[in-house]
Amino acid sequence: MSAKQNRFKSSKPRAERRPWPWGRVLSRLVLVLVVVGFLYGVERLGSQLDAIPVERVVFAGDLRHVSREVLVERVTRHLAVGYIGLDLEAIQQELEEEAWVYRAEVERLWPRELKITIVEETPIAIWGDGGLLNHRGKIFVPLKGQRVNAELPVLEGPEGSAIEIMRQYRLMSQLLGDERLQLVRLEMSARGSWRATLNGGAELVMGRQEPLEKLRRFLWVYRKELAKDFERVKRVDTRYVNGLAVAWREQQASKNG
């Protein structure tokens, strides 16, 4: 029985040695090489794209006050990085630092062109002694020597008051327009006192409180008493509670005499 058992035990097959998985190792090695090659190719392609220069810069828009040469100079500072590396937002901000540039739109045009659309400021008034005011209440200062439309109204006031003065100017202009009077200058003092100048040179002193109501009171008196001889009016003071005071210009006869 024991010999039989020994023969049985010796008949068990030995464990087979597994072959080394060369195919799997080789496939993984190939995959690694492909990935490395791909990354290297992407890097080389990126460096080549970065080296692509900007061959042409095109400006669009109606440039009446902005110097094209100045715009070119500002843009040129950003071109050294190449076509792909351009920081379009930085170029836009750079261009909008120009006084007359209201908005700049910058875009790439393939393959090597940069298109820049310029929207110039549209001033609605002269601000103080040397500034201009746009439609959103922003004050900008043009370069010395640039001509400004002399027919623009003049607005003036303390810092931060531009939008309020614009609002009052529009409301007052609507009221005066009914009588064909034109508001050519509107000022607010540091203490909040209002003074207006009409076409022909007549001044309206309106004080600090309710300037529109005082303007309506002036217009009522204008229709009743002043319209027929308004060219002789030098100043109208509306700060009185129940009336106004009129200062007259000197008679032409006394000037000649």
Q: Which of 120, 135, 150 is the last residue of a domain?
A: 120
Structure tokens at 3: 């010999």
pLDDT in tens, 37-47: 655 454 554 55
Give 137: exposed, middle or buried? Use CB within 10 Å, 0-12, 13-18, 19+.
middle
| Predicted confidence (pLDDT) at residue 106 exceeds the cutoff of 60 | yes
pLDDT value of residue 114: 94
- pLDDT score of 14 more than 90: no
User: What pLDDT sits at residue 257?
Assistant: 36
Instruction: Please give the Cα distance from 38 to 32 (Å, whole number).
Output: 10
Q: Answer yes or no: do 246 and 207 share one domain.
A: yes
- What confidence tier does 234 reach under pLDDT thresholds 50, 70, 90? very high
> How far apart, in whole angstroms, are the C-alpha atoms of residue 145 and residue 130?
11
CA 210, CA 221: separation in Å to the nearest integer?
Answer: 17
Give me the torsion for CA of 23, 29, 35, 37, rounded to 10°.
-120
Tell me the residue type at 194. W
116 and 130 assigned to the same domain = no
pLDDT digits (tens, 9 = 90+) for 58-83: 999 999 999 999 999 999 999 988 88
Whether residue 130 sits in one domain with residue 114: no
- The CATH number assigned to the domain holding 210 equals 3.40.50.11690
118-127, 137-146, 192-201: range with lowest mean pLDDT:
137-146
> Which candidate, 192, 216, 203, places its Cα nearest to that of 154?
203
Please identify, among 96, 120, 144, the residue that sits at the C-terminal boundary of a domain: 120
The parent domain of residue 115 ranges over: 56-120
